[in-house]
Chains A and B, each alone.
Chain A
Amino acid sequence: MIVEIGHFALALALGVAVVQALVPLWGVARHDRALAGVGSAAAVTCFLLVALSFGALVASYARSDFSVENVVANSHSTQPLIYKFTSVWGNHEGSMLLWVLILTLFGALVAMSRRSLPVRLRAGTLAAQGMVTVAFLAFTLLTSNPFRRMLPAPPEGQDLNPILQDLGLAIHPPLLYVGYVGFSITYAFAVAALIDGRIDAVWARAVRPWTLLAWVFLTLGIAMGSYWAYYELGWGGWWFWDPVENASLMPWLAGTALIHSTVVMEKRDSLKVWTILLAILTFSLSLLGTFIVRSGVLTSVHSFASDPSRGLFILGILIFFVGGSLALFAWRAPLLRQGGLFAPVSREGALVVNNVFIATACATVFIGTLYPLVLEMVTGDKISVGPPFFNATFIPVLVPLLLVLPLGQSLAWKRGDLLGAAQRNAMAFGIAIVVALAAIALTRGGPVLAPLGIGLGVFLVAGAAFDLGERIVARASGWPAMLSRAKGLPRSTWGAAFAHAGVGLSVIGIAAAAWSTEAIGVLKPGERLTSGRYTIVLESILPRSGPNFRAEVARFQIFSGNRELGPLEAGKRVYTARAMPTTEAGIHTDGLSQAYVALGEPQGDGAIAVRLYDKPLILLIWIGAIVMAFGGALSLTDRRFRLAAPRRAAPQPVAAQPAE
């Protein structure tokens, strides 16, 4: 019964979404406020129905209802309850339902936001969001129905893929999806603005919190996914330039550019056309990512049960929304009026530099990800584009941007002074040089570029700190004055400083990866293996059993030099339902560094193959991402987003363009 209610609610949601997609536009065309306002009620209803449907699926999983095909394929009665819950989105159908749930959640949030949006903008946004919802609800119902019954019901399920039976599954997909799907709102705002034919600072201010929200979640989602792959896959790698990873990196890059370009738009009312285009492209890249992940057209280490026939449906959705919005853009964008002026050397100019470089970096990832697909279609040759390609293209494009980032941050609005900005950053630059030289001296004969990378990261962190310091200390004398100045600084200034420092921390972590070392050995109890600063001694190998797996666990003692750091366990599990082995890496965190132990094959005579890595400063990669996300969240609480946006009715120098 619950299952049928869920299925019915989903079908009903499709109907409501059609109303949400069409009626508000009709209302706008007829200048009927009541009709234009229908979108809000529809969006909220649609969300409630999808939530009911999602709840029904969760209930089926929690009760291990094996009359549902989806539950049979991805669950097992012996699973711990937490993994029964996470199994809901550990498969194609359930994860599409989560996708739609988040999509409708964002629609409902826009509908309910108390911020006074112009009626036409809100109606258009909800309609555009409704169209996306219709497409994905139809996709879920027609090709990926999670509520399909299986009769007669088998007594036991097939269990979830063991690699997914991890806390990472509880955290990573929801975060990532909120990020991916959150950009649908900026897309909907862009489409609404194009339909309406006017776009100004009000629009920028309305869009910016949504962009920031999506960006914060996408940042956390990517970082979490990276850390999960790092500890779960047992290779000690945290980024493989895999198509599925690139699929999430592209919208992140475009979203990062969008966050920066909306600042210019809000401040100077310029870069309108570009910002609209970016808003469209960001969500288009999210859709492309969904297509790549769901269709399996590109071979990925992160592929889970994908289906090419469904891929075709998503390709259709992709073409409709990307093509449709770009056509609308080509038709309406020339109507947008010119905005304010700024000198090339100014904060606005620096933000433009940011956009040029990030968009270019995004393009190189795009080419590297899709080139194999295009080449195979054209010539039939199969190729793989791996890390060497991205190291040779993405990094050279991004590094110059990071080098000038602290300068841009301290330029004045409208017309800046490059020499002054350079002087303000001289101290940070000096510290960076000293640290880089120290790194070279300490690691004589090591990789050449790594110390420079460390220096770059330090420059970013110090630049952000000095910039904040300057704003607080300048012209303020005494602690109370400084404190009140610190309080008076806009939250978005704090946010930007944290986000930029976070980039710096990640850069340090990435650069330090060049010093990581790896050792492989075959150990018997009592024998030792050394890699870099760490030595492990195998103590014993014991069998162990879990709720739905058997495991072989190797116990080690870990030493750094002669200092004992404690015990460490690494294991191999075999999940009984699928007879599938997984590696449980043993990780010892030593400050910001980690020692990483993965087991290989048992060798028969009581010995076991062991791989030990020394990963210096690796935690900084993810800490940096968390600091970035914290910065984004801080910006989100900025005063100007909490207060009502300025009314359009106020006399503005830039007259709004009538739509018709």
Chain B
Amino acid sequence: MTAAEQPRTMAPKRRLTRKQRRLVLIAAAGAVLCLAAGLVLFALRDTIVFFYGPTEIAEKGVAPGTRMRLGGLVETGSVTRGPGQRVTFSITDSRTAIKVSYEGLLPDLFREGQGVVTEGVFQGAGQFRADSVLAKHDETYMPREVADTLKKQGHWQPGSSAPTPQAKP
């Protein structure tokens, strides 16, 4: 150890016992943990976003203006482009369809008949304004939420990315 690392003043300080030191440590750690717990609880109330399928929106009575994630399949023949970067399409779970409008570039794997997850604000009356459309890395990959939504409607078999037309009992 070098002198530079030594404290410059050795003011006579009260010596803490081992127990007191440990208490200081525990109190400090506790304070930080309390702060973090507070932040987490606060953030969990305000920042989480619920995921719904098209049918669930009606079932659960989602209020217009709610920020949420919407997932399902892009309805075949529903994608219309323009003007500019505006894209509208329908997301369906084969029972209910919600019209989605989105402004921006779509991910590479966005296609009709594909599973998709969007995040945005529910406008009411079957309308949804998305501000992000989630991309995926793999064309056979189905977001789990979307798979569950489709399974609920009885339209999905594992291993296939498109729903089979025949509903299973």
- Bind each other: yes
In the assembled complex, the Cα of A304 lies from the Cα of B2 at a distance in Å of: 53
Min distance, Cβ B164 to any Cβ of chain A, angstroms: 20
**A589 in the interface (beta carbon within 8 A):** no
Look across to chain A and name the residue whose beta carbon is closest to the beta carbon of B143.
A299
Query: Could you list which residues of chain A lie within 8 angstroms of chain B, going by C-beta atoms?
Result: 161, 163, 233-235, 296-299, 301-305, 338, 341, 343-344, 352-353, 356-357, 360-361, 363-364, 367-368, 371, 381-386, 388-389, 392-393, 396-397, 412-413, 415-417, 419-420, 470-471, 474-475, 520, 522, 572, 578, 580-583, 598, 600-601, 603, 609, 611
**Residue pair A303, B136 in contact (C-beta under 8 Å):** yes
In the assembled complex, the Cα of A587 lies from the Cα of B42 at a distance in Å of: 39
Min distance, Cβ B45 to any Cβ of chain A, angstroms: 10
**Residue pair A413, B105 in contact (C-beta under 8 Å):** no
Chain B neighbourhood of A419, CB < 8 A: 9
Look across to chain B and name the residue whose beta carbon is closest to the beta carbon of A410.
B5
**Residue pair A412, B106 in contact (C-beta under 8 Å):** no
**B18 in the interface (beta carbon within 8 A):** yes
> Interface on chain A toward B: helix, strand, loop, or mixed SS?
mixed
Look across to chain B and name the residue whose beta carbon is closest to the beta carbon of A303.
B141
**B125 in the interface (beta carbon within 8 A):** no
Size class of the contact patch on chain B: 35 or more
**Residue pair A305, B140 in contact (C-beta under 8 Å):** yes
Other A-B pairs, 11, CB within 8 Å; known A299-B143, A413-B1: A161-B138, A296-B144, A299-B144, A303-B137, A386-B49, A389-B47, A393-B40, A413-B5, A474-B2, A581-B108, A600-B85
* A299-B143, A303-B136, A583-B108 given; A384·B48 CB < 8 A: yes
> Which residue in A296, A353, A367 is a CB contact (below 8 Å) of B40?
A367
**Residue pair A382, B51 in contact (C-beta under 8 Å):** yes
Min distance, Cβ A634 to any Cβ of chain B, angstroms: 19
Chain A neighbourhood of B46, CB < 8 A: 388, 392
Chain A neighbourhood of B43, CB < 8 A: 388-389, 392-393
**Residue pair A304, B36 in contact (C-beta under 8 Å):** no
Look across to chain A and name the residue whose beta carbon is closest to the beta carbon of B69.
A384
**Residue pair B135, A301 in contact (C-beta under 8 Å):** yes
Chain B neighbourhood of A393, CB < 8 A: 36, 39-40, 43
Encoded as 1 (CB less than 8 Å from any A CB) or 0, chain B from 13 to 36 comes to 100101001001100110011011
Min distance, Cβ B35 to any Cβ of chain A, angstroms: 7
* A384-B49, A393-B43 given; A474·B136 CB < 8 A: no
Min distance, Cβ B12 to any Cβ of chain A, angstroms: 12
**B134 in the interface (beta carbon within 8 A):** yes
**Residue pair A416, B7 in contact (C-beta under 8 Å):** yes
Residue in A305, A357, A382, A611 with the greatest tally of chain B CB atoms within 10 Å? A382
**Residue pair A301, B134 in contact (C-beta under 8 Å):** yes
Chain A neighbourhood of B1, CB < 8 A: 412-413
* A389-B48, A392-B43 given; A600·B36 CB < 8 A: no
**Residue pair B16, A344 in contact (C-beta under 8 Å):** yes
Tell me the B48-70 residues at the A interface (CB within 8 Å): 48-52, 69
In the assembled complex, the Cα of A350 lies from the Cα of B95 at a distance in Å of: 60
**Residue pair B39, A364 in contact (C-beta under 8 Å):** yes
Min distance, Cβ A350 to any Cβ of chain B, angstroms: 12
Min distance, Cβ A44 to any Cβ of chain B, angstroms: 38
